[in-house]
Amino acid sequence: MAAITVNALRTLFVVLGCLMLGTLIYTLSTDGSPFRRELFTPWMTATLVDFYINVVAIAVWVAYKESNWISGALWIILLICFGSITTCAYIVVQLFKISSQDPLQEPVYHVLLRHWNKGDVERNKKISFVVAARVLFSALGCLMLGTLICTILIDGLPFRRELLTPWMAATLLDFYINVVAISVWIAYKESSWITALMWIVLLICFGSLTTCAFIVMQLSHLSSQDPLYLVLMNDHSSKQVAEKLH
């Protein structure tokens, strides 16, 4: 079952990465550079804010996952520049590392969790970023809510054909591929499929506003002394990891 899940996830993110790469090349060739003032309409700006708030969430995970700060910084720069293409590439790389791991463990567990040693354990007893993460994602959620309200007041609702320019369509595809990645985490995190489905529907409808709300809610279950990475785990895996910290 684990092998089937790994292969399915590899296939999914390879296909999504290739789809985004093809869309990027096609849009560049047909519509030119995206760095044109006329493209930055109020709704395009709001979409980019929405997109990059999700990128922040993924970048925090990448920064935790990479033990080497140079490789972590490189991946984050690529994530900022190439969006979901980098997300897919990074996830596929992590999935191909699973073959050397314990085959009895959940595949998503290995993708999410950093390989840590005794020194990492001791540091995590002393350092916690839970409170900082709560403040960060609460602020980002408020930023997105304010951006959404202001854009609606200034430019009306977004459901208009003239807004769907080639670069807006490419940006939305980029955004929703990252949504797929976050949805996989939510499905793993939630013990109830009904609850997971509810969160995923909200994520599709409200984007990074839901991402921030979900992360803050999960962080509220942690104490300020807990290691931040426990927010990535589901309840079963969190208990296993917590035992290693004691």
What pLDDT score was predicted for residue 244? Answer: 54
What count of Cα atoms within 13 Å lies in the side-chain half-sphere of residue 182?
31
Distance, in Å, from the CA atom of 243 to the CA atom of 180, rounded to the nearest integer, reads 31
pLDDT tens-place string over residues 131-176: 999 999 999 999 999 999 999 999 999 999 999 999 999 999 999 9
What pLDDT score was predicted for residue 99? Answer: 63
Alpha-helical regions (H) of 107-234 = 107-112, 118-126, 130-155, 166-189, 193-206, 208-219
pTM: 0.90
pLDDT tens-place string over residues 214-235: 999 999 999 888 888 889 988 7
